[in-house]
Structures are given as structure tokens and as C-alpha cells.
Copies of this chain bind each other. A is one copy, B any other.
Amino acid sequence: VDREAWIRALERSLEAEAVSTAPGDLQAVSHDESDLPGVLPACTCRPRTTAEVAAVIRVAMEHGVPVTVRGGGSGLEGGAIPLAGGIVLDLSRMDGVLAVSPDERVVVAQPGVTHDRLNRLLRSTGLHFPPSPGGSGDVATLGGMVSTDASGLYSLRHGGTRRWVRGLEAVTGTGEVLRVGGRVPKSSAGYDLKDLLVGSEGTLGVVTEVTLGLEPLPAGFVRATLAFPTIEEACEAAAEMAGYVPELAAVELADRETMEALRALPGLGDVPGEDLLMIEAQGRPGECAAGREAALEVAAAHGGQVVEEIGDPWALRHRMTRTLREAAHPAGVARTDCAVPLPALARFVNEIKSLAAAGGTAQTPRRAYVFGHAGVGIVHCLMPLGGAGSWTPDEARAARDSLAARAVALGGTVSGEHGIGLGQRDLLALEHPDGIAWMRRLKAIFDPRGILNPGKVL
């Protein structure tokens, strides 16, 4: 009865067809790209304006209904799964680019704009929004990237999304519209509410507008794929390059196991089955050449050499994770998202390999696909949950917990870029044993009724 009451209240608040209870619509928003089990919401709302978002939140407040905000659904830790049912607030219709100011290097956009679309629209200005969610850029939205502080390939040079967010508009869990930050690159005016909302995964407020700083497109770039005799050598070279070759904008790692699995799949071209680094130097031609040369020198000192035949490494890199998951392991995978300080990178990757080797059998060893943004110490490990070399869910969970603890002990983080969401919730206290109580206090201020994305992050 109450459900019908609040759904009717939503229908009165939003324009026609913005509220749906159709089974197909509910199914479509029940999950993200993780292999965590989906949950059906009671309804979806697809607002077009901030006022409509605020209206949804007010109805939710009044009736105590959970609200889970959703961007492109490309999250990997269940952040968009409507764990407690209720309303999925799907922002895909809020997809307007509201203002581009090239002389200010600023764009103002709604949260439903995708990463790739924004950068396509900006191309004629010679500017771009540098953080890249890799192969998910066609679906990942600005709102989603802001919510997880997404980083990706170019985080070595450009940091995460946070660095590029100058201002936000958000609707808090109290139904209030709040504008934080601003347009200028630097301000010391009061507490930094903007960065509190960035990375809060829809648990403190619903982001309804973003103001982003932009940067000129690089004058040029060169890319190279380098093969190493061992994963340790690749990691050590990555750490050295990232530290000492300033022209590099990206240093990506993919291990032999990953590459061999991809090599076994049809349609990917000539994939080398080796421990790889894929690098990109950016700048004027002289800088690119200097960067490439310096990186190759570092590689050579670690037994690495250029793989000539691979072509553009990014074409492969962008498809890597999804292809591995979908073609090689349709039964699903578990993931890690740790980051460690660069000097500990090789040690940490060895830890992963040892954990994998400790299980399975001699005939079918457990598989642990290791890749990531080595230049900033972010290492993902994919553990297949079905088929040859698979892990049981308990084994994968134990490995994930053990690696997260190890990453923290090494001075790293349990989540480099995917966010805590649902999947990494029990890891947060490892890293922030004191901070977590303060995070709870902040949550209670911004969302006193606990309606915003309940069960996530904390």
C-alpha cells in the first residue's frame, strides 16, 4: 500500500513516463558490470532536471524509501546495485553539456553525459577532459566518474577525476540543492565540500551538475609495447619509468597469464603472450621521442624490449578486461582494486602470484590475471569463478582480503579507483580504522534518514 503511495507521489512529481515499474526496466538497472548479484528496485525514475531529482529525494525522505543513483552502470563494485530495493534514480536523461568556455578551460555538464561524448564534443576546441575510464568511456558517465573518483590509463600524468572537478551541484539526502566549489582553478574559501562529495558514491548526495577543468589536447603522443622476461622485471621497470621519465602519461601493466588468455581468443590479432608494459609519452615531437627513448633505456636495463607487431597497444588494452571476463570466463570473476607504492609493486604482484599458486592443482593451477595502471601502483587481479583454473567464491574472497591487508601494510590502498561500493565494503576499515567512524558521522549529516544508496561504502 505504501509502495503504491510513494510511486504515485513520484509520478505526480516527475513528467510522464519518467517513472517506471516495468519488469524490463527494473531488470536493466538491477546490476552493474561486477559479478555481484543484482537486486530489483521497486521502480526507476529518470529525471531531466535538478528540481526533479530534488522532488524524488523529498518523496523518498517522506516515505523512507532507499534511492540508488545510477550513471552508465559500468561500475565494478556494485555501487549502483539497489541493494535495499526502492528507487533507482537513473540520470541518463540528464545528458546536457550546458556550457563550454575554452578561454577558461572549463565545461559545465549534466551528470549523464558520457566520458567519450564529452571529449568528442570538446574536440573542436582543442581541449579535453583528461581522465580516461579506458574501455568503458562509451558508457561511463561524468556523474559516475565523479562518484568513484575514477582514474584509469592517464592517472600517472593527470590524476583521477577529482583533480578536474572544480564545482558540483548536488541534492543531499535532506532534499536540499547544494552548490560546492566553483569555476576557478584555485580557491581557499572555506571547507572543501566539493571533494567530500567527489568519491562519495551517491551516499552523501546526488550529483546533478559538474563543472570540470579541461586541458589542451597533447601536441602529440607515441605509444609502445614492451615485453619483459618476468613480471618482476616489468614491475620494476614500470616503477622506474613512472618516477624518472616525466614525458610518460601512462604506464600500463599486463601479465603473461592475461596475454596468453587473450592470445587464445579469436579476433584480437597477434597478441604477444608475455609480461608487458604498454606506455604512452605525450608532448611535442621532441618530448615524445625523448620520453620513448628514456623509457626504452629503462626497459632494456630490465631485459625488456619493444614488441613491434602489436600496433596500437590501447586498442587491445581497452578491450582487455571485458574480453577476458566475457569470452574467457562467462561464469564471472572476482576482482581486486588495490594500489601500492611503486617500490612495492613487484613484491605485491609476486604476492598475488603466490596466492594463486598455493591453490588449484598441478594440472589446473588457479588463474590470477594481473594488469593495471602500474605507473600509479594500481594493480587489478581477476580471479575466474568458473571453468579451468577457477577459484571458489570463498577462496577468491580470502585472497582479496589478504591482498587488501597486504596493500595497506605496504602503504597502499584497498581501492585504487573502482570505489568501495558493495564489493569492497568490508575492506574499508582495514585502511581507515579511525576514519570510518568520522565517515559515518558525515553520512549522518548529509543523509540523516539513510536513504541515499544504503549499504554502500560504509
Contact = CB atoms under 8 A, between A and B. Distances in A.
A416 B457 contact: no
A103 to B, nearest CB: 4
A12 interface: no
B103 A182 contact: no
A196 interface: yes
A377 to B, nearest CB: 6
A9 to B, nearest CB: 25
B339 A376 contact: no
A243 interface: yes
Interface residues of A, number: 83
A268 to B, nearest CB: 29
Interface in A180-205: 180, 182-193, 195-196, 198-200, 204
B243 A105 contact: yes
Interface in A300-344: 337, 339-343
Contact of A178 (B188, B243, B438): B438
A420 B184 contact: no
Interface string A268-282: 000000000000000
Interface stretch (A55-63, A157-165, A225-233): A157-165
A439 B446 CA distance: 11
A441 interface: yes
A413 B184 contact: yes
A97 B334 CA distance: 41
Interface string A419-438: 11000100110011011101
A361 to B, nearest CB: 35
A183 to B, nearest CB: 4
A200 B286 CA distance: 43
B149 A428 contact: no
A101 B341 CA distance: 10
Given A196-B192, A286-B286, A343 B457 contact: no
Nearest to A103: B343
A190 B436 contact: yes
A339 B187 contact: yes
Contact of A445 (B105, B184, B187, B441): B441
Nearest to A169: B434
Nearest to A240: B103
**Interface core residue of A104, A186, A416, A438 (most chain B CB under 10 Å):** A186
Given A191-B200, A432-B189, A434-B177, A184 B412 contact: yes
Given A176-B434, A287-B287, A188 B103 contact: no
A439 B162 contact: no
A415 B189 CA distance: 5
A341 B184 contact: yes
A414 interface: yes
Contact of A184 (B189, B287, B376, B443): B376
Contacts of A446: 438
A51 interface: no
A151 interface: yes
Contacts of A417: 186, 188
A216 B185 contact: no
A445 to B, nearest CB: 5
Interface of A: 101, 103-106, 148-151, 155, 159-160, 162-163, 172, 176-180, 182-193, 195-196, 198-200, 204, 216, 239, 243-244, 246, 284, 286-287, 290, 337, 339-343, 376-378, 411-420, 424, 427-428, 431-432, 434-436, 438-439, 441-443, 445-446, 457-458
23 contacts: A101-B341, A101-B343, A104-B341, A150-B188, A172-B438, A176-B434, A180-B432, A183-B341, A183-B412, A184-B411, A185-B376, A186-B376, A186-B378, A186-B413, A188-B417, A189-B420, A189-B432, A190-B457, A191-B457, A192-B196, A193-B432, A193-B442, A287-B287
Q: Which 5 A-B pairs rank lowest in CB-CB distance, beginning with the nearest?
A: A195-B195, A187-B413, A183-B411, A189-B415, A103-B343
